[in-house]
Chain A
Amino acid sequence: MSTAYEPVIGLEIHVQLKTRTKMFCGCELSFGDPPNVHTCPVCLGLPGALPAVNARAIHYGLMIGLALGSELAPRSVFHRKNYFYPDLPKGYQISQYDLPLCRGGRLGDVRIHRVHLEEDAAKLVHVGESGRIHGSDASIVDFNRGGTPLAEIVTEPDIRSAEQARDWLQLLRVTLRQLGVSDVNMEEGSLRCDANISIRPAGSDELGTKTELKNMNSFRFIEQGIKAEIERQEALLRAGEPVVQETLHFDPRTGRITSLRSKEEAHDYRYFPEPDLVPIDITDEMLEAARAEVPELPAERQERYRTQLGLNEDSAKLLADRVELAEYFESVLAVNGSEPQAVANWVTELAARLDEGDPAASKVEPGALAALVGLLSDKAITVGAARQVLDRLVAEGGDPKAIVEAEGLGAIGGGEELAGLVAEAIAANADAAEKIKAGNMKAIGPIIGHVMKATKGRADGGEVTRLVREQLGL
């Protein structure tokens, strides 16, 4: 019998902060502008230039720490991380080492190890067909990105599968987006993720040798990459070979994992306190200002929707993860607060018709959606009819009641008309009626279908079933 292995995964996430200017100079942040237009002596690392900390970046860092329930340092220090690379103009990155802005915390089911601030490297552009460094003719540097403020969020190794890693990263993404501190766009690189991965025999408490998988730039690649690395490590262990500590690159086109550098080749970063900056004392005023700007976050909102409004888990998560849906949902509830789950369902219906659009920007007024839900709960219309009304609302806006009346979509109630139609349907489907009488309720389909056809879907299915049973003497 082969051993079952348990993956142990921790993530390191780099988030570009959406400040107006860079981490240590006054250059504007940009994406997609012509190369090297947002530069100055500081972010080009010119001789004699000195950094000055962006207060807004500290503020955003504190907001992230508060959102993750971290312990916020009363005094935070920047360090220099020394290494040579052409995208690093000073030959060191200003980062944080043993006195990060935030320590500890939790998001969902994953504990946070620390959050620190640093500056982004510039962007290397490899000239040549491959677009990658290997086989390129030359490499040129665009310093627009250099010096962009980054928050590095490091988790504890609490993740146990590739799917969990993907889901948790999505939770982090919506959390950061609701904080408003980042665009969190993986394709544009404002959210980047590395994974530390090891495996161990299930039930073991010891940690296996870990590898670091670098820079997977979509949620799909993260899941694929981690899965591939877990499989690679399992295959090694099953073959009796050790996992070697190294840094790896996942190529999503081929699914292959290649080594970037081994432990022996790892840098000695020679961290030391950045002498060009003074320590940052986090004052009560700074904390208060950060606290005042932290909104209700997805995890809290989801919990509130479940426990206080009684929404099911899927609805609660769907709404909480998209703040524009949640806000619209709550504005509908303000008009019709009696049926939160029904409102949630119809906000979901509406969202499906708007693609990724914000419902608040659509033609469907919250009051109209509340009225639609009210018509349904009064059984004034059927679900099918309500969908037709919603289509009209999305296209043209307006009042649901007026649409129902104008289109003749009102439900046919339990009166004479419906009883007569049911009688007609039974007569037209005598075989089915016999089977029902013999105890086979599943045979009711054709009879209901007949009634629905005659009423263009306006009949209430439950009422039709009741009438069928009544008329057949069941």
Chain B
Amino acid sequence: MAAPAEVPPPLQGIPTAKEKKYDRQLRLWGINGQVALESTHIVLINNGPGVTGVETLKNLVLPNVGEFTIIDSAIVSEADLGVNFFLEDASLGKFRAVEAARLLEELNPGVKGHAVTELLETLITQEKALADYNLIIVAAPIDPAILAKIQAHSQQYRIPTFYLHSVGFFSSFSVYLPPTFPIVETHPDPTSTTDLRLLKPWPALSAFAKEKLKGLEEGTMAAHDKAHIPWLCLLLHYLEKWKQAHDGNVPEAFKEKTAFRDTVRAGDYNEENFDEACAAVLKSLNPPTPPSDVRDILSAPETQNLDKSSAPFWLIANAISKFYQEHGQLPLPGAVPDMKAVSADYIILQNIYKTKARQDSAEVLATVRELEKQLGRPQNFVQDAEVENFCKGAAHIHLVRGRSIQIVEAGKAIQFGDRAKAIAKELTNDESLIGLHIAFLAWDEFVATHHTSSQVAGGQGLKVPGSGTDDFEADAEKMTGIAHKIVDNLIKEAETFVEDPEYSQIKEKIAKFCTEILRAGGGELHNIASLTGGLLAQEVIKVITRQYVPIDNTCLFDGVASRTRVLRI
């Protein structure tokens, strides 16, 4: 058949060139995430070989971060050319920050890059040195006193800040996040989010199921109709029967559930909708109890003790906690998975869920408006859409209680504080990379104790262990000594002790991390820099968009064993 002679439809709803260019990432974080990214000015305080930071920026320039600045006073050396993609032969002898910013900008004309080449130790004394930036990345090695100054700024203005190491086959980064960092759009796996309330159906749902099952037991239902009963209604029907036979109780234990599944199966051995119903039994018949970390958020002091400065998140959390107290369940998310059904039935079912979800959300919204009044906040301080969004994802909200980055101080023992006990336990966990974290702490302490200001006559600046031609073994021994002392202090601080042979094994493992780090002499391998730059950029995006769940709070990468581990330090 030839195409009918009709005028081609007008082109409409076509994405703009920009939407097209960023299509594949917009499918992940949406327009809101993109707007947040495009209004960010990120600063990289670059030190050492400085490759990882620049690779991180590459992964942010490509998705169109607003602006970036590189603070780096280094001059491009030949060694830079072999490891940094954002330098070229003609860059030799020029400022590294200027050259890298220029070549990064070339990737995406939409992004504005800046370079600051002033010496960091003088720059940082200026009051507004970091005022322009809403996210900070700092690369080691750095004078810990300067790092402490940067972190003081971050804490004062609640600026998310990353501190990274990348040496040889190893890397790590820690993030400072504000003391409360809540996330609503965590993007959970869609298969884990289905919440159908089959154990507590409401009247509209029960009535619909009843209607769809009419005639099944009597055998008067047409075959086509039977084959198209939505599985959700099938389960509701057999649950009713089960309850009648079991004193009104629903199947709870695994054995009961499998027995229940057999009764569903006996309804029909071949039809696809019965298959679907059987497959859904184990995962759909759970009471809708929120996960414990969600309950923690609902009972958190910030939720329960609202004041005039409480952010919208806490008002909604408070309203939802009231809802939960009253109904024993969270607001209904309202989504229905696809299932075998005729179109009209499925749409009705969808509407039953949507209507209930809207009712729940309206109830929460009314509480929020009431709270606004009580707190003297302007009406609509919290937006309708925020409440709706929160209700949809209420079972998957997440809260990071940000911590500060651990900074070594020359001549002072490293403290683990309230985390000491948990971290000490990591020492005896084979899967843990705590040893690598301790090795990097020792590396920082070595730098701090071998540091002479380059502004003072004869000063060398920062001395990285193993960076000379013949100090490899001597430095390895020194740094391992520092690392072992950190381990002993940690065990002491945790008020525990570790016996041999475990104690010796821990020390040996850490000695190996130290030796392998020193082998690189402070140098970066491009692959490790690029991989770490990918990890870091991903975290930056999560923090900026407030979507997905960021690390809490230190990520370690072992490029020998090819694995990562996240620790809360």
A and B bound? no
